[in-house]
Amino acid sequence: MNPEKSSSAEPERSQVRILARGFQPKMKKRNVLKIVSILAFFLIVMFAFSKISFTGEVFKTNKLKLGYCPTMFEEALEISDEKGMELILFSSSAEILEALKNDEIDAGLIGRLAKKIEINEEIEEEILREGYTLVSKERSMILFSNLNFFKIHTYLTESVSHTLIPNSEIIYYDTLDEAVLEGFKRNEPVLISWEDFDDKYELFIPLDEFGRKIKNFRIPVLYYR
């Protein structure tokens, strides 16, 4: 064995070992970071699945809920787009007002004015536009085409009444009270403005051929707390 060759190789191996030891801390640090990242990922996944199991969803939304009846879909959609509210369809105005009183929804959009018995002092009312409707002594529903068989009593102008009911015979009066008195006496419908609606009146509701309430006789009214 050549002593000179052995002595010259020993320093080279020592330098290699020193260089290797110099890399070990960095390699360990990188491994630790990888382990921490993996653990963090699994913790996030476990948290997400625990939310799914307990609440049925990963992220629970806090959107306000707006109940609406079928005739008010377009107006409800407009409010939802503007306010970012979740829309919930109900089959009737009465159901919406009951849900609002029970805190099941945050607001309700219906196609008529609520009677005092249907709301409480905590509920606010906002009429979104003007409109007209038919009233009578008893609540009734009728096909719009069958209105031709009724005489309509009103205090409104001819331009308004003939636009809404073009084919019916209309009897005009000077005042609301006169029209209501005579119409109710004859058990015939009275055409009024929604702003004159009173709890003592009942709605006389025209329907289309599919049994849907005709929107011309409805009015968008928003109820909320």
For residue 52, what pLDDT is reported? Answer: 35
For residue 62, what pLDDT is reported? Answer: 75
Q: What angle do CA 81, 220, 175 make, to 5 degrees?
A: 155
pTM equals: 0.71
DSSP line for 78-135: HHHHHHTPEEEE-S-HHHHHHHHHTTS-SEEEESSPPPGGGS-TT-EEEE-S--EEEE
Q: What angle do CA 195, 198, 204 make, to 5 degrees?
A: 90
DSSP line for 190-207: EEEEGGG--TT-EEEEEE
**34 to each of 2, 22, 194, 197, how far by Cα in Å?**
48, 20, 70, 72
Strands 132-136 and 202-207: antiparallel
Q: What are phi and psi of 72, to 5 degrees?
A: -105, 20
Closest listed residue to residue 186, CA positions, set 199, 173, 205: 173
Q: Are 223 and 116 in contact (CB under 8 A)?
A: no
Task: Give the model confidence (pLDDT) of 208-222 as tens digits.
Answer: 999 999 999 999 999
In 3-state terms, what secondary structure has residue 63?
Answer: coil
For residue 38, what pLDDT is reported? Answer: 62
Contacts from 72-76 at CB under 8 Å and sequence distance 24+? 72/109, 72/110, 72/111, 72/218, 72/220, 75/109, 75/128, 75/220, 76/109
**For residue 44, what are its two tokens?**
């996030």
Strands 132-136 and 190-193: antiparallel
For residue 111, what pLDDT is reported? Answer: 98
For residue 36, what pLDDT is reported? Answer: 54
Task: Give the model confidence (pLDDT) of 57-91 as tens digits.
Answer: 333 457 899 999 999 999 999 999 999 999 999 99
Sheet strands side by side (includes 202-207): 140-143, 202-207, 132-136, 190-193, 151-154, 169-172
pLDDT tens sequence for the chain (225 residues): 444 444 444 555 444 444 444 445 554 555 555 665 666 555 554 544 443 333 333 334 578 999 999 999 999 999 999 999 999 999 999 999 999 999 999 999 999 999 999 999 999 999 999 999 999 999 999 999 999 999 999 999 999 999 999 999 999 999 999 999 999 999 999 999 999 999 999 999 999 999 999 999 999 999 998
For residue 181, what pLDDT is reported? Answer: 98
